[in-house]
Structure 1
């Protein structure tokens, strides 16, 4: 694997559009067995790895390997890691979907909230499990369901608000059976949420944000300057159009209006398995990246909102269309915005990076910063108080955690 510096700046809008290539279609028909390097629970065997920084600068990783969830920490920004701690006790049928992964959030005291999902049956009905650590990650409570409802839940996102409350949002199919019993067609799933305050391991009753959303894409979660949750998700609009939408909460228990991010007109009666990414800058601007194969546009795109998600800028294309750009991730760090995504040239997968120091008005020339010749996880971006980093798990080359050079 190689890492390279970022280059000169250009306007992102100059990157050309393209159609959905065969490789992007292949990514959506996920073959989970090939992604793990081995069947043990250690980090080098992981297929999905998720990073998070604690307020004290400790880097935490959670990963799925060998049918279990583990965590480890690093005090030297990824150069070395502590011994792994097993979060789960037994081998589980972990959700291996393309957009599924364990997630963690860390509060100001170093307490950790962790969520992941499992498959309960062969029909891909899932169950979201959560756990907490109140001793700095040395041990975790036994994982328990986020809700007592026994219908399918998947694609959870979790975070701490500034007051230390945990907020969880997920996709939930509890409204499917009642609709069918009424003789009504039910598309997709419901977007549900719950919260936990005061260090409690229990969550509030699940509440609905929006029904009939796309059931198989990851969610983007961030908190605005007032500490309110903001969620971006793939919705099902009229006519079976699966475009992205966003909602800003007025408090932990009250979702606001749902607004459309972009009119891509992707009419598909299937699962894209390719969700969005969301970050909110210090200026309060919402920044969203997403994938579409719509009639209006195809590929990866970026847009921003300066009015709390009510309206968004015109979508700007991301990546080289002849190299199947996919899995974009965006992050607001201490030195500005960074966006990373995958491309495939027919032989190797590479990670490309672009940065912005003017709140998304212009972006640097995209640069190839890492590559691998075998299967790999999505590229993730994570920031501490000084720097933004690329986190990427690969089958052939192992786990890589790299400071992004040349940030604005």
Structure 2
């Protein structure tokens, strides 16, 4: 097997492998072992890295390497970084699934809030942990579970409201216990949420937003307005159809009605391990990008909603189908809506980008902005004011944060 074939297998094989518990363990272990550039905890050894720009323009970065989550900051746009600070004193069995990564936000008072998940056993049952720094990232409190429940939690999403409230959502399997006790089947996991009004020091009791969602995909999280989170997630519809849905909260504790993003008709009793991306424009438009392998459509797609998620536009295909387009990400700034994703031509993985200047109605032609011939993280987009940047970790080239420019 060639090196490039192994990389491609890492992108496609996991969903198939999940049909067998032994196969998934072997596949995920292989992928984890092949992604890291080195064995240390420094940034160049990372497999996943997540950026965040604070209000003052300082760049913060969280990454996972060597069994630890570390944090550093940069005042020159990522050219140089402060000394890395680990958020844990010991190595952990970090969740290294394809859609797992550390999350962080920094509030207006300088509190650095971090969340991540770990595996508690060989069956991939997880636990979401959180920590914070109140001294500008010089030290972090001992990580604590986001909930006292002992069942599996994974795929946390973290966002900062306008008033500094931290909102967190995750996938949680606690409801399988009473279902099993009652002799009822239980499919998927519950979408749970909580919030913190003290800078991530403590969180409210976990609350269920939707049960029986797909249990193994990242969540898309944004705000439709102050105190109104929006979550896009892969739901389980009737007949084990795993298509995407959206829920908009009326306030931080009250989820609204569930609406379907599109009818892709992906009927599968396994884990796609490829979740959606969400951005909400100042106009109120919801922008969603996702992957599907359904009967109705296959590949990457984008759609928008101008009525609070009740209805969405006809899905627009993204990427070249013969180049295995994967891992879409959408970002909104005051100037443009930007989409990014990965493609693989058999030799190289390339990050493609296209932009819209009219709130998702029309789009520029896709263009390549970065590439690698080795393993890589998912491409992320981040904004520093009006500037849009690509955040990407590759095994061969390390971490890069590059301006992608404006496609006029």
- Structure 1 407/133 Cα, relative in aligned 2: closer, same or farther at 3 Å? farther
Q: CA–CA distance in 1 between the matches of 2:331 and 2:227?
A: 17
User: Following superposition, which runs of at least 4 residues in structure 1 exceed 4 angstroms of deviation?
Assistant: 21-24, 27-30
- Cα offset, 1:198, TM superposition: 3.1
Instruction: Report the counterpart of residue 207 of structure 2 in structure 1.
Output: 207
Aligned length: 388
- Cα offset, 1:162, TM superposition: 0.9
- Cα offset, 1:334, TM superposition: 3.4
CA contact (8 A) 2:353 2:366 kept: yes
Instruction: Report the counterpart of residue 22 of structure 2 in structure 1.
Output: none
CA contact (8 A) 1:216 1:272 kept: yes
Instruction: Report the counterpart of residue 13 of structure 2 in structure 1.
Output: 26
Q: Secondary structure at the match of 1:224?
A: strand
Q: Secondary structure at the match of 1:71?
A: strand
* Greater fraction helix: 2
Instruction: Report the counterpart of residue 11 of structure 1 in structure 2.
Output: none
Instruction: Report the counterpart of residue 113 of structure 1 in structure 2.
Output: 113
TM-score (structure 1 length as normaliser) = 0.93
Instruction: Report the counterpart of residue 53 of structure 1 in structure 2.
Output: 53
TM-score (structure 2 length as normaliser) = 0.93
Alignment of 1:73-112 (within 5 A): 73-112=73-112
The answer on 1:224 being equivalent to 2:211 is no
- Cα offset, 1:62, TM superposition: 0.1
Alignment of 1:7-406 (within 5 A): 24-26=11-13, 28=15, 30=28, 31-199=31-199, 201-406=201-406
User: Over aligned residues, Cα RMSD in angstroms?
Assistant: 1.3
| Highest RCO, 1 vs 2 (Cα 8 Å, sep ≥ 6) | 1
- Cα offset, 1:136, TM superposition: 1.7
Worse overlay, 220-229 or 370-379: 220-229
Q: CA–CA distance in 1 between the matches of 2:340 and 2:13?
A: 20
Worse overlay, 191-200 or 368-377: 191-200
Q: CA–CA distance in 2 between the matches of 1:407 and 1:95?
A: 36
What are the ranges of 5 or more consecutive residues in structure 1 without an aligned counterpart?
1-20
CA contact (8 A) 1:333 1:383 kept: yes
Q: Secondary structure at the match of 1:282?
A: coil
CA contact (8 A) 1:392 1:399 kept: yes
- Structure 1 377/200 Cα, relative in aligned 2: closer, same or farther at 3 Å? closer
Q: CA–CA distance in 2 between the matches of 1:27 and 1:395?
A: 19
- Cα offset, 1:200, TM superposition: 5.5
- Structure 1 330/136 Cα, relative in aligned 2: closer, same or farther at 3 Å? same
Worse overlay, 293-302 or 135-144: 135-144
What are the ranges of 5 or more consecutive residues in structure 2 without an aligned counterpart?
1-7, 16-26
Deviations 1:334-389 (A, max 9, x none): 32111100000001100000011110101110001110000000000000113010
